[in-house]
Structure 1
């Protein structure tokens, strides 16, 4: 009688046991000896709830601190009087600081880049710098208006104050963190005759007007009986200023 063939389980069972052992060893290594599917593992919804609770707690603390600050100076009559004096002084200086909107007679100056001619061309001998409004052109107009005693100046939709610094970046203007493209509109309130005379006498404005004639840059100057100048939004922060006069030296 022929010998029966060897059963495949003779080799399959050891292989299955070996794989199971490797799997268990790998699981133990990854988990560090701890249970992988722990019932106390944090869930996403729990994390969201904890974050929301933290936000609510911090918001309540903020409200409490805000109320403390608001009521801090009202504890005694002397403190209340000092606060009233400082507030009155700040209100008196608000107009000079540019924090109050103005309206009255003024001058509107508009500067813009050169435009192409009817054939769609620029002057042949013009460079790229000759065809755009530069920072020094804007500063020349602003300085001329200030020298003529302008009461308030607005450029585009922003009030110009002592901390304003228009800067050209390529063919755009950066003012107080906002970017503008030409035309650049400058509105000034004050003695219109004096401001026009200052613009006409400014060497840098005169030079710009030559470029207007030579390369087609834009320049318009208009007097109006009533213009509006917006207020600069509070609060103004001084980083490098120091008191003027003997205390500043």
Structure 2
């Protein structure tokens, strides 16, 4: 009698177990959507940063293409006054929404080599990597040297461009980038170089370049084709140093 009950319970439980297994497989297939649920090599930080950068670049290109379509349609309809159109073109060059070409410099910044990091385990890790203030120092020096246009990682720098560190990457226009960092400027090469040489911050950075082999390289460029800024120009908020922040319906920001 006891044997009969055990067999009956097993026969009743087997279909239930199979049903649960089927539900689990179906749930996994739905969540996976045809992809592998197992972790892959792309889950590393570097892989995630590169994937996000590619995705953002694709969206920026789509935004730029749609903006060009709108401008073409407006031009065809003749909705823009010729005088206003000329002013718009001049302003777009100043803002950075127009491609430019010319001679200039490219400054490349790199973290310390891996072997140097291994040979200096007691050294503060922050001394062995490039930070946002290093990039900002180069950009500020190039502006001070009379640069007509600047790009970072081949992305145009405008008045609202922000540079900040997030982990071991630098975020530019909301997109993370890993080193090496390339800052390119169009302008008088001698004046640009002199501005870099006169920068006290860059002079201090050179100490780390010598001691820990941080990468700092300046290259003369006879001709640079710099793309236009393709992101949004919407400004969320801005404050003027020394003044209390007050709500405003049309916030403004100062230039560089």
TM category, shorter: 0.5 to 0.7
8 Å Cα contact 1:200/1:206 also seen in 2: yes
**Alpha-carbon distance in structure 2 between the residues aligned to 1:87 and 1:143:** 31
Q: Deviations over 1:116-173 (max 9, x none)?
A: 338x723354211011101110000000000011011010021000010111112101
Q: Secondary structure at the match of 1:223?
A: strand
Q: Show the counterpart of 1:88.
A: 86
Q: Show the counterpart of 1:242.
A: 252
Q: Secondary structure at the match of 1:96?
A: helix
| Equivalence map 1:195-214=2 (5 Å) | 195-214=192-211
Count of matched residue pairs: 169
Q: Deviations over 1:75-117 (max 9, x none)?
A: xxxxx6x744333211111111111111111101000100033
**Alpha-carbon distance in structure 1 between the residues aligned to 2:153 and 2:218:** 15
Query: Which one has the largest radius of gyration?
Result: 1
**Alpha-carbon distance in structure 1 between the residues aligned to 2:151 and 2:119:** 31
| Equivalence map 1:13-28=2 (5 Å) | none
How far did 1:216 drift? 1.6
Q: Deviations over 1:208-239 (max 9, x none)?
A: 11111111211101111111211001652234
Q: Show the counterpart of 2:38.
A: none
Q: Show the counterpart of 2:100.
A: 102
Aligned counterpart in structure 1 of residue 151 of structure 2, from 145, 149, 154 = 154
**Alpha-carbon distance in structure 1 between the residues aligned to 2:172 and 2:180:** 14
Q: Show the counterpart of 2:111.
A: 113
Aligned counterpart in structure 2 of residue 164 of structure 1, from 161, 172, 183 = 161
Q: Secondary structure at the match of 2:143?
A: helix
How far did 1:201 drift? 0.6
Q: Deviations over 1:41-95 (max 9, x none)?
A: xxxxxxxxxxxxxxxxxxxxxxxxx9xxx7xx97xxxxx6x74433321111111
Aligned counterpart in structure 2 of residue 131 of structure 1, from 122, 128, 133 = 128
**Alpha-carbon distance in structure 2 between the residues aligned to 1:146 and 1:84:** 32
Q: Show the counterpart of 2:10.
A: none
Higher percent of residues as helix: 2
Q: Secondary structure at the match of 1:95?
A: helix
8 Å Cα contact 1:115/1:122 also seen in 2: no
Q: Show the counterpart of 2:229.
A: 232
**Alpha-carbon distance in structure 1 between the residues aligned to 2:225 and 2:122:** 40
**Alpha-carbon distance in structure 1 between the residues aligned to 2:90 and 2:216:** 37
8 Å Cα contact 2:160/2:253 also seen in 1: no
How far did 1:192 drift? 0.4
